[in-house]
Structure 1
Amino acid sequence: MRSFTLEVWGDLACFTRPEFKVERFSYPIITPSAARGIFDAIYLEFDPTTKTPRMYWQVERIEVMSPVRYIALMRNEVKEKASLRKVQEWMKDPSTFEPLYADATREETGQDTKGRTQRQTMALKDVRYRLTAHAVLYEEDYALRPKVEESFLRRARAGQCIYQPYLGCREFAAYFRLVEPGEVSAPVPYSERIGWMLYDVFDLSRPGRPLRPDRGERPRISLFEAEVVDGVLEVPPYGSDRVRKGEA
């Protein structure tokens, strides 16, 4: 089992704390689920028959390479989006098409405004992390593991990705590079007991099983007690007792 390390950075990031409800308030550092998403963006192996993942990336360590700095933003967020089912209905019968207005008023449409809403965001700025993870196969395969590891290594080294990774929100783009063996740089001298932190929003113990093509996998929230010591957050394995898992 081979571990890989990425250096990841971006201008803005927001890893929303769920206890703050409507307003967006970021954790001081990246969450394991957001870190996993960056590895997923570079390479993820799927079963060609069932179209479900054959693996997941287990994040081992998160290192903070830049000081934690917050920035207050006011962002426009849409209240609704077009679903796959609605689009398919419109394709079959264009007369059923109902537009979604960004800034409609009752007088213009004759109905309640759907549009957008403004929300306050406490985001992070000028972030830089060093993330270490390894591939966990749902069924260990001595032919598949070299394929996964060599494919990830090749793509990460070349800066290739399936889609642009992001830092919590899709508009906050993440940039990455592979950290080669022997590279040495110390994280920032930052320590904080964060407390309960989001570990992941899906059940990583099994391959995802889409409930419907337009809805995807049912969420299953997991949490763990996070503490950063000298710029390093050690992440327990998903199967560990330290990771508290909720119902699906």
Structure 2
Amino acid sequence: MPQDQILKVWGELACFTRPELKVERFSYPVITPSAARGIYDAIYCQPAEFRWQLTRIEVLAYPRYIALRRNEVKDKAPSSMTILRWMEGKEEVKPIFADDNPPDDTKGRTQRQTMALKNVCYRLHAYIRPWPGFEARLPALEAQFRRRASQGKCIYQPYLGCREFPAYFELVEPGAQMETPPPIDLDIGLMLYDVFDLSRPGKPLDTANDELPSISLFRAEVRNGTVTVPDYESDAVLKGRRVANA
């Protein structure tokens, strides 16, 4: 049976943006399952073999907000396939300019208000869910994750909602003494669960057709400092259709 892999995660700033806010960024009071899964993926992921399933989020520091103004570029980053073609020299590189953006000579950035969190700290619980045909690999996958996490290794720097807010982590070994979360009780309401379809195996580089968003939500509550995260397949997770932009 899969065992929960536990991480203690902290950082100076975090922003887990509510999807209903289109322009200004306003963070949920605690980390979302999607952002937590991203931290695990940053340490170890094999999307063709398994995915991470969050089970619990323990809030080890009271949520505290801070108002920031940040410069953001207006253009979106290209798809991973486009970037790969740039790297292979098969397509001309088209950079994103923050200022003096040719050919219209207008600024490519905008300043936006952000209500972020400061000095966050969480204890995350998640387990590896192998895809069909890879169940026998479970012990090796778990051992590889623990080895990487215990040495501080990661594929890329984990972050807390936004890439400029780095996340620091340490592995909590089985049987280790753990601090009790503070008595925080919050009714968050509907919270973002994930932005991808977690019901199917992924690929290292999906085609543009497979990158369509698949938003899911769940009703989140913090009870005694803990958020219980339902399985993605559970009826407690509200899933939307994968629809391309019109």
TM-score norm. by structure 1 comes to 0.87
CA RMSD of aligned residues (A): 2.3
Q: 2:54 aligns with which of 52, 59, 63?
A: 59
User: Is residue 182–residue 225 contact of structure 2 (8 Å, CA) maintained in 1?
Assistant: yes
Residue of structure 2 equivalent to 1:40: 41
CA–CA distance in 2 between the matches of 1:54 and 1:136?
9
* 1:98-148 deviation digits (Å, cap 9, x = unpaired): 66432227xxx5625251000000000000000000001111534311111
CA–CA distance in 1 between the matches of 2:96 and 2:157?
26
Residue of structure 2 equivalent to 1:190: 184
Amino acid at match of 1:59: L
Rg larger in structure: 1
Matched, 1:232 2:226: yes
Structure 2, unpaired ranges of 5+: none
Q: 1:88, CA displacement in angstroms? A: 4.0
Q: Specify the SS of the correspondent of 1:205.
A: coil
CA–CA distance in 2 between the matches of 1:153 and 1:33?
21
- Relative to structure 1, is the Cα distance of residues 55 and 82 closer, same or farther in structure 2, using a 3 angstrom cutoff? closer
- Relative to structure 1, is the Cα distance of residues 7 and 93 closer, same or farther in structure 2, using a 3 angstrom cutoff? closer
Mapping 1:104-183, distance limit 5 Å: 104=100, 111=104, 113-180=106-173, 181-183=175-177
Amino acid at match of 2:193: Y
Q: Percent identity between the aligned chains? A: 57
CA–CA distance in 2 between the matches of 1:13 and 1:35?
12
TM-score norm. by structure 2 comes to 0.88
Structure 1, unpaired ranges of 5+: 47-52
Matched, 1:200 2:194: yes
Q: Specify the SS of the correspondent of 1:19.
A: coil
- Relative to structure 1, is the Cα distance of residues 111 and 156 closer, same or farther in structure 2, using a 3 angstrom cutoff? same
CA–CA distance in 2 between the matches of 1:142 and 1:100?
43
Matched, 1:242 2:243: no
* 1:149-179 deviation digits (Å, cap 9, x = unpaired): 0001111111111111000000100000011
CA–CA distance in 2 between the matches of 1:170 and 1:247?
27
User: Is residue 8–residue 122 contact of structure 2 (8 Å, CA) maintained in 1?
Assistant: yes
Paired residues, number: 235
